[in-house]
Amino acid sequence: VLCPLLVVGDRGGLEHWERPPNAAVLVQMALTSLSGCAYCTSFLVGVALTSPFFMSMGIGLLIPLGYFVDLVLGNVLQEDFSLLNLLGLLLVSAGFVLINLNCSCLQRPQGIYVTLEPEGDELGPERDSVEMLAAETPRAPLPHRGADRGQPLFHLGLDR
């Protein structure tokens, strides 16, 4: 969709575009793109299976996790490592655990619920399929249900 803007920017002198100089750079770019796609996908799946709050707090754990991985791989020099760094890692990790322990009582029961309509008909673990729910509560179809009220027609997640 934005490709024409690249051409306009290149021809207009706003931005110079060039191909990657070699295959190694192209592979690095592809791996970066794929890891970004994997991150976004896993974040959205995490939101659907847990809650947006849990996943937002979990993003904060990326910093200590990245530092720990750098320690294991040897990317952090010995003179750069200090007890304050370790204390920061522990405080961020403890904060994540404490916040989620405090909020665990607010979560819905286990299972994925699918809200089929704005009125709140849901599929829970006790129902087998959308067809089974439709057979239980037959309704005449209404055109554009929920669209005029700005409400989603389909919702997947554990919380509202």
pLDDT in the model for residue 152: 53
Domain residue extents for the chain: 1-49, 51-107, 113-157
Question: How confident is residue 142, by pLDDT bands cut at 50, 70 and 90?
Answer: low
Picking from 56, 51, 72, 63, the residue whose alpha carbon sits closest to that of residue 93 is 63
The enclosing H or E element of 3 equals: helix 3-12
Confidence of residue 132 (pLDDT cuts 50, 70, 90): low
Q: Given a cut of 70, is residue 49 above it in pLDDT?
A: yes
* Pairwise CA distance, residues 17 & 7, whole Å: 8
Segment (H or E) for 156: strand 155-157
Element holding 115 (H helix, E strand): strand 113-115
First CA to last CA across the chain, in angstroms? 33
Residue type for position 104: S
**Residue 146 has what pLDDT?**
47
Count of CA atoms in the C-beta half-sphere (13 A) of 102: 8
Q: Give one DSSP letter per residue of 26-89, joined into a string.
A: HHHHHHHHHHHHHHHHHHHHHHHHS-HHHHHHHHTTHHHHHHHHHHHHT-S-GGG--HHHHHHH
Distance (Å, rounded) from C-alpha 144 to C-alpha 42?
31
Residues of the chain with pLDDT > 70, as a percent, come to 63
Q: Is 90 exceeded by the pLDDT of residue 144?
A: no
Looking at residue 155, its pLDDT comes to 54
Return mean pLDDT, the chain: 75
Per-residue confidence (pLDDT) for residue 22, from 0 to 100: 95
Taking only the tens place, the pLDDT of each residue in 76-91 is: 877 777 888 889 888 9
Give the pLDDT mean for 126-130: 53
